[in-house]
A and B are shown apart, each in its own frame.
Chain A
């Protein structure tokens, strides 16, 4: 298609592009990714390489076969691949990230219409899928297992926050994920209210309905809470577009996470909570629209 130049306003455009946003997300993930390799070794790097390359390949092949524009250049498949790797423990066999990526890209993303059209977070859905398929080969972090039966984990809160623990390779270091989150907030890529409200809700609920006062910080730093709150719950496509809607989403996801952890739905709860809220994003937007426009022409709408 020919470029349409200078025919009509706007004649200038903000420099933000999808690719730039995705590149920022990848940049924000680098500290956690480096930590993963340092802590878990070369296997972590292999998992990341496998999931990223499979994601990119799947997207490219699908779009080519479906005769659509190949959008691999917008880096969103790279981001999905990285998220999938982050959600897997280092014990995962090599075929696990491949399975996860194929499912995430082909079924959850492309089959729903590609970037901007998917209902569910592809990376989360991919990780959940392989956790269900290869349950025995993908252990949860020992902290989650301990908390679920009411015991304190073996390591200190400091270890949990910094990432000197076991668990999925990208989820362990709450500290480095926060650093990434601060970077994304500073670059205006994500809405700061979502991670704050998500983690805040889990914190508030663990204070209001405590198992044990000592658990609260473990609760926050274990599992994929920070990963989910900073990177997954802030995914533009699958979350509400309105400010209030995002806050509702974050609080809902936090509440569901806590409920699932306490009532045994899942040891971690975060992935399922976010996926459940993904389903409700459209409805939340409808209710939380900043201006109530009455049906009809809309011109009689009140403010």
Chain B
């Protein structure tokens, strides 16, 4: 029987995109123009009118290099870079294959390759930095519970894992698969069968099993310490980067509205409106588009575009979106307690926070809350538990930070 995590909730109850899991991936041709949004600390390396080639470096932000997903002309280069694709297949000269075997490479070479190709993980953190900073990692965990790339390229994922394990000096790799993608898990097992160091583990498809702490506990049975957790799609990107030298130019995004649910491999920078149109999904007035999951994601607009961290889009009709009423009441039923993956007592923490008992809230573990939101989902009284606790934790961190700053200023 598959391992089932404590608390949480089955994906089938909450996730409109589960229909797409295990479905085949459809490739989408890049649209006429691609929009790459840039974060705050950016350095734009091209100007309007420049012609860029596929894989060419166009910007740098937070230590991660950004590349053009397709060849074309730059039409905008301020807060976002817009590229008008010209349909050619020209690739930048910097995209260089690795001719060496993995065993002949050094750790530094791999890290450099990851840096040059701007490979980022699902949270947008540079893989090069992560691998470099990983000290004594014990196991590599590739996550296929929330990430649906497993269905498309098991070989890339496993090979990517091998590269990472080599760079990290880790001798054990585990691919964690949700139990609702049996076919993909089988394909992965076949690929892993040849390797003694990598195996496939199946877990009950529950949210938030894909969370780092949950995966670490599922694999090691101990509290998370030095496991290196990465999503399956990132492993595949590592493999592509290493072998072909091509940075991430595509992203597998699952798009869902009601019964229509598809996995689409789209160019980074594809506008959501075009992506949804390609999937055959109509966005009506008042529909809400949510990216990143229905319990912990955020609202996006059709004008936004696919980025390196985009995973899923769900279109909800206005009526289906949860409308939080101003008044809520905790009846102490304890559903949040059963739901909490961190084994906290969310109802007590909320009552301490609302009564202003800061120390009590902290001692009950308010800072350990991951913000997964299952408690808010199950609460019959409509208490926005996750928001209250994470809001408190953020305020506390700010206060602690500013207090420390005051201390420093004084001394």
Contact of B290 among A5, A11, A236, A290 (CB under 8 A): A11
Contact pattern, A 12-55, Cβ under 8 Å of B = 1, otherwise 0:
11101110110000000000000000000000000000000000
Contacts A10-B295, A298-B363, A298-B366; is A242 near B334 (CB within 8 Å)?
yes
Is A136 engaged at the interface, CB distance under 8 Å to the other chain? Answer: no
Chain A contacts for B272, CB-based, 8 A: none
Residue contact A14 to B377, C-beta cutoff 8 Å: yes
Quote the shortest CB–CB distance from B10 to chain A (angstroms).
12
Contacts A16-B378, A241-B347; is A5 near B324 (CB within 8 Å)?
yes
Contacts A285-B345, A291-B343, A297-B362; is A9 near B296 (CB within 8 Å)?
yes
Residue contact B376 to A285, C-beta cutoff 8 Å: no
Q: Interface size of A by Cβ–Cβ distance < 8 Å? A: 46
Interface footprint category on B: 35 or more
Is B72 engaged at the interface, CB distance under 8 Å to the other chain? Answer: no
Chain B contacts for A5, CB-based, 8 A: 321-324
Chain A contacts for B363, CB-based, 8 A: 293-296, 298
Contact of A12 among B322, B380, B386 (CB under 8 A): B322
Chain B contacts for A114, CB-based, 8 A: 329
Chain B contacts for A289, CB-based, 8 A: 345
Quote the shortest CB–CB distance from A210 to chain B (angstroms).
35
Residue contact A1 to B327, C-beta cutoff 8 Å: yes
Contact pattern, B 327-347, Cβ under 8 Å of A = 1, otherwise 0:
101111111011000111101
Residue contact B333 to A236, C-beta cutoff 8 Å: yes
Contact pattern, A 60-95, Cβ under 8 Å of B = 1, otherwise 0:
000000000101001000000000000000000000
Bound Cα distance from A13 to B332, whole angstroms: 18
Give the one of B293, B329, B347, B382 with max A CB within 10 A. Answer: B329
Residue contact B322 to A116, C-beta cutoff 8 Å: no
Residue contact B326 to A291, C-beta cutoff 8 Å: no
Is B387 engaged at the interface, CB distance under 8 Å to the other chain? Answer: yes
Residue of B at shortest CB range from A294? B363
Bound Cα distance from A21 to B332, whole angstroms: 13
Is A149 engaged at the interface, CB distance under 8 Å to the other chain? Answer: no
Is A301 engaged at the interface, CB distance under 8 Å to the other chain? Answer: yes
Chain A contacts for B382, CB-based, 8 A: 13, 17
Is B365 engaged at the interface, CB distance under 8 Å to the other chain? Answer: yes
Bound Cα distance from A69 to B363, whole angstroms: 32
Residue contact A12 to B294, C-beta cutoff 8 Å: yes
Residue contact B331 to A237, C-beta cutoff 8 Å: yes
Bound Cα distance from A4 to B366, whole angstroms: 24
Bound Cα distance from A292 to B288, whole angstroms: 40
Chain B residues packing against A (C-beta within 8 Å): 13-14, 223, 288, 290, 293-299, 316, 320-327, 329-335, 337-338, 342-345, 347-348, 362-368, 373, 376-378, 380-382, 386-387
Pick 14 A–B contacts, CB within 8 A, sort by A: A2-B326, A3-B323, A5-B323, A9-B293, A11-B290, A13-B322, A13-B376, A74-B329, A114-B329, A241-B332, A241-B334, A241-B337, A241-B345, A290-B345
